[in-house]
Amino acid sequence: MKINSFLNTFLVKKYILVTLIGLVLGILIYYYLKESTNNTSSLSSLEVVLASLCGILVALLCYRISLKLDKVIPWQAQLANRLFAGITIHFLFAFTFISVCIYGYHQLIIDSDILLSNEIFIKLAIILFILMLFYSIIYFAFYSYYTYATLQIATIEQERKQIDLQLKALKSQLSPHFLFNSLNSISSLIFSNTERAETFIRRLAKMYQFTLDSYSEKLIPLEEEINLVNAYSYLMETRFENKFTCQIEIPEEIRDSKIPPLTLQMLVENAIKHNIMSIGNPLTIKISTSGNYIYVKNNTTEVPKNTTSFNIGLSNIHDRYILLHGEGIVIEKEVDFIVKIPIILENKTNDSHNK
């Protein structure tokens, strides 16, 4: 809200500045043209007012034309063409508009002191051309600054939103409910199978260490995320025994691609949270690739009652992919529940940031 308010205030100030410049230039041009004709009559208050209004209208309309030209001929792509078109169009518009106003005033006001002559219009053309040249250069300078400021503000907003999403993902991993279940599993294993209990503790510690080390990273290698999923899957397979399996079939050439941290782990956790598992109807998760996507597929069982959620799961992953890659995840609900995750290559990541 504060950023939008700042931008709106900045735009209002620009219009006020343009209006004041038009007012001053309108009076100055009128005064110069009147003095250049060697006219000894005093300044007419009516003519001063009309010259001021004419200057304001020309300034505001030229500014609006500039905004239209910015869309038709972008500065970034066609700097020389945009500069030439701006000077030419603004000059022709201003000269025609002011000339019509002068001629119309001369025809309507019988006792007008304004003398119509080629000299007057030549001087007017020279003044307007110089002004439009300076205007285009100054406008480009302000346009560059405004574009840079807007880009910086957008970048800060994106960074803030990305950090917020990552902190929410971290919150889900530090859930007391998950930790409580893990400690229960350890307590039951420590007397029946000490070796497996030790492995369980190591995998749990590895998972938390990964979570704490990577939450501030925007992207991590897919190989690291797979290692996290393997550690998490071991915890779940130990806890649910024959009721849960997770298969990972991702080729080696894909494992050097990038992925937002905790993406696959959150999808596995999401599948466990929203399905009831039994020996007769176990939950099977398969992570594979096809085309430009990573597929996370699981069979669907009965949805458990009173499922707690931090409201981050799929929407969190989708929002992070939109911010980092420009393309979100795809969800398919048929016989199985499938989430398609775009594969992020290093060069595509750079291109997305440049945009």
Query: Where are the strands (E) in 159-233, listed by range?
Result: 220-221
Q: To the nearest 10°, the Cα dihedral for 221, 223, 227, 233?
A: 100
Owner of token pair 């949805």: 303
| SS3 of residue 36 by DSSP | helix
Cα separations (Å) of 266 from 63, 82, 103? 51, 49, 74
Reading the chain (355 residues) residue by residue, the pLDDT tens digits are 444 555 556 567 778 888 888 889 888 888 887 777 665 556 678 888 888 999 999 999 998 998 899 888 888 888 888 889 999 999 999 999 988 888 887 777 655 555 567 778 888 899 999 999 998 888 888 888 877 777 777 777 777 776 676 666 666 666 666 777 778 888 878 878 888 888 889 888 888 788 777 767 788 899 999 998 998 898 888 888 889 999 999 998 888 899 988 889 889 988 888 888 888 889 999 999 998 999 999 998 877 776 555 445 788 788 888 888 888 899 988 888 999 999 988 655 444 444 4
45 phi/psi in degrees, rounded to 5: -65, -35
* Beta pairing, strands 283-290 & 244-249: parallel
Residues 2-55: pLDDT tens digits? 445 555 565 677 788 888 888 898 888 888 877 776 655 566 788 888 889 999
Nearest-CA neighbor of 298 among 326, 275, 314, 321? 275
CB crowding 80-117: b at 16 or more within 10 Å, else e: eebbebbbebbbebbbebbbebbeebeeeeeeeebeee
Bridge partners for 344 per DSSP: 258
Spatial distance between the Cα atoms of 226 and 232, rounded to a whole number of angstroms? 10
- Crossing angle of helices 118-173 and 313-325, rounded to 10°: 140
Give the tens place of pLDDT for each residue, 84-102: 999 999 999 999 998 888 8
DSSP classification of residue 41: S
